[in-house]
Amino acid sequence: MKIKKLVAATYAPMHKDGSLNVSVIKDYSSFLIRNKVSGVFMNGSTGDFVSLSTEERKEITSAWAKNKSSDLYLIDHVGDPSLKVAKELSAYAADKVDAIAVLAPFYFRLNSMDKLVEYCKEVAACAPNLPFYYYHIPALSGADFNMLDFLKIASKEIPNLEGIKFTNNNLIDYLHCKNFENGKYNILFGFDEVFLSSLPLGAEGWVGSTYNHLAPLYYKIKELFEAGKMAEAAELQTKAIRFVEILNGKGGFNGVAKGFMRTLGVDCGPSRFPHTTLSNTEYDDIKEELENIGLLPFLSK
């Protein structure tokens, strides 16, 4: 099944003391569905997977699985610098979610495409009945390989290869991947700040963190693009960029944006070190800034 529409890269909800608070996930799920988000990408960069233990990642997987809905496709990121851990998480997710994904090991970085394919192949084989996505995010993983070349090799080696979460602004490589073997693979666009640029290339599915907060805005951008109103669409894309810039300027986007969720009615709690968590007063100030640029009507509700 090809995933279409917006997929939210979700946060790991926490109590004030920093322990997991998976009880939030039921309401979180309803919130996303209400805002026409079609899927969840859990345990990823937005979900602070590198700050979670293996057991905590499993707890998040289980919590989303228990709140499963036909309206929300669940993708579990199971990647880890340890191949052993990644395979363990893959096997754990095999009967709980709709698909799995991995990014490349990011400490001892891979130095060849063959090693990347080998890593993906071993992890995918631990959940052979689930669609498998490679999570391409070279800015964080350091695995700056050409994804068309990856598809040419991996398509022959990984039977359950479904596609790529393409978090890179190399639009040429993205387009080639999308067109590979007549569009056989689901290439999910993962760079929120250039969402509009993906539309002329035929993008149909997107994964990103700001789809938690601004889903109505992105659907409006798509609507304006399809109506040929490019200037208006570009104006809204600029607002989305300003959202990221404003929150990032308050101490770093990951942590500040997670805390911002409570202003939308979903309290995901604080972030773990090194991310920043702000006070309610500071979030009031942020909302005032967002109001000044006309963004409040486009926030998820």
Residues catalogued as catalytic: 135, 165
d(CA 70, CA 37): 12
Tell me how many helices (H) and strands (E) the chain has: 12, 8
d(CA 59, CA 73): 18
d(CA 220, CA 199): 13
| DSSP codes joined into one string, 191-257 | -GGGHHHHGGGT--EEEESTTTT-HHHHHHHHHHHHTT-HHHHHHHHHHHHHHHHHHHTTT-HHHHH
Unique residue bearing structure tokens 């990644």: 86
Q: If we measure between CA atoms, which residue out of 228, 227, 247 comes closest to residue 239?
A: 247
